[in-house]
Structure 1
Amino acid sequence: MNSQTLSSLIDKAITDALAHRTLRIESSRLESTGIENIQAETQRQPTTFVMITGDDVAAFPATLRYLAALAQAGCLLSVHFSHSAQRLHTRFADTLHRLLPQVPCQQTIDPMLRSGDTLLLPALSDNSLAKIALGLRDNAASQWVFQALAQDVRIIALHHPDAAMPSAYLAQLSRYQETLRQFGIRMMGQPAAPQASVSHSAVACVGKSLLTARDVRLHSEDTLRVQPGTLITPAARDEIAARRITLITAS
């Protein structure tokens, strides 16, 4: 997952998490009376538990920046790393402590999840996605997710599959994504299944003056022809490179 894509996805997650946190705090204040009750409610402020999965070193700095933005916005964060993400925890420990000094970085911790908290998985790996969908609780991410589901805790998961993978693999990931939605998990990110439409072919792109990432995702051929002067967005170029599409400027 490139950092630009991850930034866009986490932007949505941050907005969602902050809106949920604000609603919970305001509702609690309206229900309480007196300064003592308000202070007590503040001490029970909802926490956003963050579970880092996978080992995508290139994308993790973007995750750190947005976690810092959440902390600066007033969210109480508790960041934890799955077994597969221990390399990230080791490599970025100093940066994590500098950006989020109040965050406990223990590798294993049993979160006391409660109603009002949020479980955020900012870069859910394919492996953890599959385990959760199949009901396997043999890694940290799946264990936390099922604990959160049992306690009616809000879950936000960002998953962005590698578009270069075979279509059958992407179709299976898409089914797993749908299973998580049926569980009540808020899934964010690009759908895994490739678009069925093949009419959006090379010829269809020749006449476009602007080529976006969506155009590239809908393109089903190995070669993409564009007319001279076509403006190609940075996200579209990333998508072209990721899928190893040959770009040809038509005469």
Structure 2
Amino acid sequence: MNTPELQRLSRLIDKSIAELLVRKRAARNAGRKTVRVVITGSDLNTLPQTLKSLRALESAGYDLRVMFSHSAGQSGLKSALLSEIQSVSGTDEFSTLTDDSLYLPALSTNSLSKIALGLRDNLATTQVFHALSLNTPVIVTLNSKLLHLSDSAFTPPLQARLNDYVDSLRQYGIAIKGLEDTACQKRLITLNDIRLHHTSGLLRIGRNTLITPAAQDEIRRQNITVIR
């Protein structure tokens, strides 16, 4: 076999290998769902929570397409996340949403408020309302301050307003994950905890969690069932 024929055979082999790899990749990804992830806020303290969420999605077999708000990019969240999770693919901020679901981990308080008020002036709000218009499932987890409002530095009126905003997201059809588990992590349930509680008449708490007398009265008044 002369040199030109060997070169031609080599090219055919390379082409066949490339085609086989493409087919193998397509077969592996067949049926896999894609999740559009929008990272919001500038609080680097949300990094562990966000990493845990993204790794759980990866382990479950989802393909992740991650977008970063302006504040997340400026704060260093973007570089920190991309350095920790190599398999996620970054996307253009203005790309069209064509994924199976939209997920916003550790949603910032600012974005929560804007979504609740129907504003569409940043990346998160634009993506959320576009997804809702297409009936694409939208899922959020809240940042630690929103998860533990009664322990935050927010004033009681602001806590109540933010809690109303969380309810507004539910009314839009947005699924909020993890909120129902926060009472289980508390050692003492107060009256304020019960007033901020919005989980379908059920309160799940730890076996050794204490409930103040005022909180017990409010539980009876609201006809809430306590499950330890």
Normalising by structure 1, we get a TM-score of 0.56
Note the residue ranges of structure 1 that are not aligned, 5 or more in a row.
1-35, 196-211, 221-231, 234-251
Q: How many correspondences in the alignment?
A: 164
Identity %: 37
> In structure 2, the residue corresponding to 1:119 is in which secondary structure?
strand
8 Å contact kept, 2:97–2:130:
no
Query: Which structure would you say has the larger Rg?
Result: 2
Q: For residue 110 of structure 1, what is the aligned residue in structure 2? A: 95
Q: Deviations over 1:164-191 (max 9, x none)?
A: 2101001111111111101100113448
Q: For residue 101 of structure 1, what is the aligned residue in structure 2? A: 86
Q: For residue 75 of structure 1, what is the aligned residue in structure 2? A: 62
What is the CA distance between 1:134 and its match in structure 2?
Answer: 1.1
Aligned pairs for 1:45-84 (under 5 A) are 45-84=32-71
Aligned pairs for 1:1-251 (under 5 A) are 42-43=29-30, 45-88=32-75, 90=76, 93=79, 95-106=80-91, 108-114=93-99, 117-160=100-143, 161=146, 162=149, 163-190=152-179, 213-218=185-190
Note the residue ranges of structure 2 that are not aligned, 5 or more in a row.
1-22, 193-207, 210-228
Aligned-residue CA RMSD (Å): 3.2
What is the CA distance between 1:78 and its match in structure 2?
Answer: 0.8
What is the CA distance between 1:73 and its match in structure 2?
Answer: 2.9
8 Å contact kept, 1:82–1:107:
no
What is the CA distance between 1:111 and its match in structure 2?
Answer: 3.8
Distance 2:31 2:185 in 1: 43
Q: Deviations over 1:112-162 (max 9, x none)?
A: 325xx1111111111111111111000111000001100111111112424
Distance 1:42 1:108 in 2: 24
Aligned letter for 1:214?
Answer: K
Normalising by structure 2, we get a TM-score of 0.61
Q: Deviations over 1:50-102 (max 9, x none)?
A: 111111112213312431232133110011111221134x3552x53344323
> Cα gap change, 1:41/1:58 in structure 2, threshold over 3 Å: closer, same or farther?
closer
8 Å contact kept, 1:47–1:118:
yes
> Cα gap change, 1:217/1:126 in structure 2, threshold over 3 Å: closer, same or farther?
farther
Aligned letter for 2:153?
Answer: A
